[in-house]
Amino acid sequence: MKRPTTAGRIDGTSPLRADVGDRNVVGRSDVELLGRVALGDQQAFAALYDRHCRNVYGLVLGVVRDRAHAEEVTQEVFVQAWRTAARYDPARGTPGTWLRTLAHRRAVDRVRSEQAARDRDRRASAVNGTVVPVDPVADDVELLSEYAAVRSALAALTDLQREAVTLAYFGGHTYRRVAELLGVPTPTAKSRIRDGLVRLRDALETSSTALA
């Protein structure tokens, strides 16, 4: 997957500002880099991309299950980050958490879009008397993502729990891989996933009881 060398190359609608100041980004924190990105600093954007592109790509690939789609979605995530960096709120999580949230949303959107296209092809094939192959993995992911109860339950988790559960639940990653993606010790990742799943189960049970 190629890294865009400058933000301008992937977002021609966002011209670089000339008053962004010092270009030295070595040693800058993610928050500082994102603040510079909000001002149009391409070098800060490139540094942020280099730090997080592999984790974002890994998360996206775990959801879409297709390398070509994963590469496209990853690029879309960073284009969105470039355009909306000024909206980042440190109180709601780290820049890495913010990027992974964007990645998860876009990955699920891509799965839904692909599923909708397959559904249209199947309806057309039914009319024409032809058969369109079924992709059971993508179908399962789409089915899960459509459950309003699951989405509502995930929203009830803390940001840290939701991030860990999303990587394990949608991404299918091991405890160790989740820990690597989050940059935390494996026991911490296990704890977040365990606590998140407990809260998720309780929320789903509550939702099921309310609908009964």
Select from 107, 137, 167 the last residue of a domain. Answer: 137
The 3-class SS string of 38-101 reads: HCCCHHHHHHHHHHHHHHHHHHHHHHHCCHHHHHHHHHHHHHHHHHHHHHCCHHHCCHHHHHHH
Given pLDDT bands bounded at 50, 70 and 90, which one contains residue 162? Answer: confident
124 or 85: whose pLDDT is higher?
85
85 with 178, same domain: the answer is no
How far is the C-alpha of 19 from the C-alpha of 27, rounded, in Å?
21
Select from 137, 157, 190 the last residue of a domain. Answer: 137
**Positive or negative torsion for Cα 146, 150, 151, 152:** positive
Q: What domain range is 115 assigned to?
A: 1-137
Question: Pick from 52, 1, 58, 90: which is nearest to 178 by CA?
Answer: 58
Q: What is the mean pLDDT of residues 25-44?
A: 90
In a domain? residue 55: yes
* 5 pLDDT higher than 50: no
Name the burial class of residue 39, with classes exposed (0-12), middle (13-18) and buried (19+) by CB atoms within 10 angstroms of its CB: middle
How far is the C-alpha of 103 from the C-alpha of 198, rounded, in Å?
24
Per the prediction, the chain carries an average pLDDT of: 75
Question: By the 8 A CB rule, do 65 and 11 touch?
Answer: no
| Residues 88-130 pLDDT 10s | 988 888 999 899 889 988 888 888 877 666 666 565 555 555 5
In a domain? residue 54: yes
**The model's pTM:** 0.54
Given pLDDT bands bounded at 50, 70 and 90, which one contains residue 144? Answer: very low
Name the burial class of residue 71, with classes exposed (0-12), middle (13-18) and buried (19+) by CB atoms within 10 angstroms of its CB: middle
62 with 153, same domain: the answer is no
In a domain? residue 142: no
172 with 131, same domain: the answer is no
**pLDDT number for residue 171:** 66
* 14 pLDDT higher than 50: no
Given pLDDT bands bounded at 50, 70 and 90, which one contains residue 168? Answer: confident
151 with 195, same domain: the answer is yes
Share of the chain above pLDDT 70, in %: 66
Buried-state track 77-111, b at ≥16 Cβ within 10 A, e below 16: bbbbbbeebeebeeeebbbbbbbbbbbbebbbebb
Q: At what angle do helices 42-64 and 175-182 cross, to 10 degrees?
A: 160
Question: Pick from 83, 94, 96: which is nearest to 54 by CA?
Answer: 96
List own/partner pairs for 12-17 with CB under 8 A and 24 or more apart. 14/40, 14/82, 14/83, 15/40, 16/40, 16/41, 16/42, 17/41
4 with 68, same domain: the answer is yes
153 with 94, same domain: the answer is no
Helix, strand, or coil (residue 122) = helix
Select from 85, 119, 137 the last residue of a domain. Answer: 137
How far is the C-alpha of 88 from the C-alpha of 94, rounded, in Å?
9
In a domain? residue 64: yes
CATH number of the structural domain spanning residue 86 = 1.10.1740.10
How far is the C-alpha of 60 from the C-alpha of 72, rounded, in Å?
10
